[in-house]
Structure 1
Amino acid sequence: MNHFESVRKTPKTLYRPVHATPVEFLQAVLAAYAKYGRSPEAALQQAQITPSLWQQGTGGEGVERITALQMERLSAYAMHELDDEALGWFSQPMRWGSYGMLLRASLSSPTLGVALQRWCRHHGLLTQDVVLQWQRDSAQARIVLQENRPLGVFRIFCLVSMLRNLHGVACWLVDSPIRLLRLELPFPAPAYADALALLFPGPIGYDAPVACLHLDATHLAMPLCRNETELNDMLRRALYVMVKPYRRDRSLLRRVRQRLRASLSTPYATPQTAQTLAHELHLSVRSLHRLLQEEGVTLQSIKNEVRRERATELLVRTRHPVKQIAAMSGFDNVKSFARAFLGWTGQTPQQYRQQHQPLDSG
């Protein structure tokens, strides 16, 4: 459910999964099988977890972590087999499809803030053993996880999983990693606190009065950018969104490049601006610039790169006049095009064309 798998780079640049998921989470799933009087043997086989692995983990001398993929497979199999997406946490099972229903109810929300409010409210229709309380002021939003009954051996796994799932869903809905202002957990720091620090992008406080996520209020206005088709695709492997820190489905840089290239390749197309790109990408202009900056680029630098690629291609592969190539590369006049091209390549467009002319052109 809520675990972390990192990778280690070998000298041969191969990547291997690191055993970083606490074995205590595995033991919580096994406790669910015990609660329902079922054998976990098939689930453990599905996840390729041997009895010696988790039994040794409790003794402190063997493996104390498993991989995120193992935990994902174990949890998915257990949820199906036990017909309980909460894996024994609550007084009544949360039947298979419950969290998918919560997602569908939130998908039509205009903004992330509305989607999170709906998630909290509708979760209360599934159980009252724990309640998600939505609180907001001008600076931040807080999602408080209130415990209404003892959760026993499931407590830590339940609290961590619910908050990680909620954060993972929020990131997926807007296709953007969301950093937390703070996470508060109502128990002492466990031995695997390092794994929790990797799960939640932000400072974590322990021994808090209640479990609580703190989000910057500026994220709440972000529009959702998912549709029904994407939701159905995600639900086929929903746990993957929950078990690993979120990464954008597609690089924003790549999507901006694609749109700029398409615009230049389309005759008489209106030039792309920050406003038009932000609208197409379901972002505010401010968020577009900020997210590109996080990827180490600016919108102007991407425009220059795409224009240069377009211009050099046209100069070499066509016999179009330079004036026409300037227009097809997004410039209003030849003078500004020639000045920009000289800055890109150190040559004039005519010099570049002559130097890179195909051998059989004459």
Structure 2
Amino acid sequence: MPAKIALPASLSGGRAATPIAFIRAIVLAYHRYGRDPANALARAEIDPRLLDDAAARVTAAQMEVISGHAMQELDDEALGWFSRRLPWGSYGMLCRASITSPDLGVALKRWCRHHRLLTDDIALELEVTPTSARLSITPQRDLGPMHEFCLVTLLRYVLGYACWAIDSRIPLQESTFPFPAPPHADAYALLFPGPVRFEAPQAAIRFEPRYLDLPIRRDEQALRAMLHRALPLTVLQYRRDRLLVQGVRQFLQSAGNRSATAEQVAGHLHISVRTLHRQLQDEGASLQQLKDETRRDQAIDLLDRSSRSIKQISALVGFSNEKSFSRAFKGWTGLSPQAFRGRGERGQGSVEPAGLSA
């Protein structure tokens, strides 16, 4: 293995997680067009000797510099993937064609449809079911050694744009790729947080369809600013999830999850515990508050719609004993469970829930 090479601090500072295989793919684009990649490598401060080290990695900043320089120098935003060039500004045109959409679902459908005007070497398709939205890529010709880099980058292009357009992180249910796990498979967890499956029929990402209903939050002015530095969207994760609270509530509603720990909730959402607490705080919520709300709503429903005993309801909503449940329920509604159940007979009507603990 080649000796470890120290990179200049300007671009190499920070975590080097981008596989050298992706840099090699850009070098292949230069060779395809009969051009010398030396200037692009130098601008990104990537020592050419690293190309011979299969285990080498570069930083996101280095990837951004070499990608942007190559796209302009080769006048091909597809970096040699397709049978013809996609001139500089092609993907910006797709963004502009989608930015006026009322919501993300329409924007992604436009993106898929308009991409066919750029090239027919691949087909993008958005399929929606009640439980999943699936964005897939189907090659229409052999992409050769560009296969992995093309599929990975295109999925990240669309995912990054979608997150930016609705100003929200989009958690992935699954990401699939139609090739064996590469030596740098660990890098996929950074690009596609969540379950990743190789040797699948298609390259695709799946996410909850409710994100498709979120409105587009960007305008032309924001788009122009974004296009000046669009490439970070392909490697960096969007932090804020506008539907995080809803996702946590949905997870806690399942009987087996009512007493879930922060670690279990964060693991289900494929984020860190720290990120979970920070994003909930940003939304003016907390995990304990959401647990209390879920337990309260389930308890009220069981008291109103079933004949189960207070002890049984206490256990069903996750309390270890009836006394703890009664104390919590009175804090939520101002009434004991027994009084709440009997309120209709006494003509007390509905009860407004009291404030929940943070």
What range is the shorter-chain TM-score in? 0.5 to 0.7
- Specify which of 228, 233, 240 is matched with residue 225 of structure 2: 233
Shift of 1:284: 8.4
Q: Note the alpha carbon deviations across 1:110-167, whole angstroms, 9 max, x for none.
A: 1111111111111111101001012111111111201110001100000100111111
Distance between the aligned counterparts of 2:116 and 2:126, measured in 1? Answer: 12
Shift of 1:53: 2.2
Distance between the aligned counterparts of 1:114 and 1:293, measured in 2? Answer: 32
- The residue number in structure 2 matching 1:118 is 110
Distance between the aligned counterparts of 1:235 and 1:65, measured in 2? Answer: 26
Structure 1 residues 67 and 285: alpha-carbon distance in aligned structure 2, compared to 1, 3 A threshold: closer
Shift of 1:215: 1.6
Q: RMSD of aligned C-alpha atoms?
A: 2.5
Structure 1 residues 76 and 285: alpha-carbon distance in aligned structure 2, compared to 1, 3 A threshold: closer
- The residue number in structure 2 matching 1:255 is none
TM-score of the pair, normalised by structure 1: 0.65
Instruction: Tell me the amino acid that sits aligned with residue 165 of structure 2.
Output: L
Distance between the aligned counterparts of 1:189 and 1:285, measured in 2? Answer: 30
Structure 1 residues 300 and 166: alpha-carbon distance in aligned structure 2, compared to 1, 3 A threshold: closer
Q: Is 1:78 equivalent to 2:63 in the alignment? A: no
CA contact (8 A) 1:142 1:212 kept: yes
CA contact (8 A) 2:173 2:206 kept: yes
Shift of 1:288: 11
Q: Which runs of 4+ in 1 moved over 2 A?
A: 283-294, 296-301
CA contact (8 A) 1:21 1:195 kept: yes
- Specify which of 184, 188, 191 is matched with residue 180 of structure 2: 188
Distance between the aligned counterparts of 2:20 and 2:190, measured in 1? Answer: 16
Matches within 5 A, 1:269-308: 295-297=279-281, 299=284
3-state SS of 2:25 partner: helix
Which range moved further: 137-146 or 22-31? Answer: 137-146
CA contact (8 A) 1:29 1:87 kept: yes
3-state SS of 1:296 partner: helix
Structure 1 portions without partners, runs of 5+ = 1-14, 253-282, 302-339, 341-362
Distance between the aligned counterparts of 2:244 and 2:156, measured in 1? Answer: 29
Shift of 1:289: 9.8
Shift of 1:16: 4.5
Q: Is 1:34 equivalent to 2:31 in the alignment? A: yes
Q: Note the alpha carbon deviations across 1:334-360, whole angstroms, 9 max, x for none.
A: xxxxxx9xxxxxxxxxxxxxxxxxxxx
- The residue number in structure 1 matching 2:170 is 178
Q: Is 1:109 equivalent to 2:93 in the alignment? A: no
Which range moved further: 131-140 or 156-165? Answer: 131-140
Structure 1 residues 26 and 221: alpha-carbon distance in aligned structure 2, compared to 1, 3 A threshold: same
Q: Taking every aligned residue pair, what percent have the same amino acid on both sides?
A: 48
Matches within 5 A, 1:2-13: none
Q: Is 1:156 equivalent to 2:148 in the alignment? A: yes
- Specify which of 163, 168, 177 is matched with residue 160 of structure 2: 168
Distance between the aligned counterparts of 1:289 and 1:203, measured in 2? Answer: 18
State the aligned residue count. 250
Instruction: Tell me the amino acid that sits aligned with residue 82 of structure 1.
Output: L
Shift of 1:224: 1.0
Shift of 1:299: 3.3
CA contact (8 A) 2:135 2:204 kept: yes
Q: Is 1:43 equivalent to 2:40 in the alignment? A: yes
Structure 1 residues 117 and 39: alpha-carbon distance in aligned structure 2, compared to 1, 3 A threshold: same
Distance between the aligned counterparts of 1:289 and 1:129, measured in 2? Answer: 40
Distance between the aligned counterparts of 1:71 and 1:154, measured in 2? Answer: 16
TM-score of the pair, normalised by structure 2: 0.65
Higher relative contact order, structure no. (Cα contacts within 8 Å, ≥ 6 residues apart):
1
3-state SS of 1:299 partner: coil
Instruction: Tell me the amino acid that sits aligned with residue 41 of structure 2.
Output: L
Structure 2 portions without partners, runs of 5+ = 1-11, 250-274, 287-354
Q: Is 1:22 equivalent to 2:19 in the alignment? A: yes
Instruction: Tell me the amino acid that sits aligned with residue 105 of structure 1.
Output: A
Structure 1 residues 294 and 94: alpha-carbon distance in aligned structure 2, compared to 1, 3 A threshold: same
Structure 1 residues 45 and 300: alpha-carbon distance in aligned structure 2, compared to 1, 3 A threshold: closer
Distance between the aligned counterparts of 1:98 and 1:234, measured in 2? Answer: 15
- The residue number in structure 2 matching 1:132 is 124
Q: Note the alpha carbon deviations across 1:266-292, whole angstroms, 9 max, x for none.
A: xxxxxxxxxxxxxxxxx7897699799
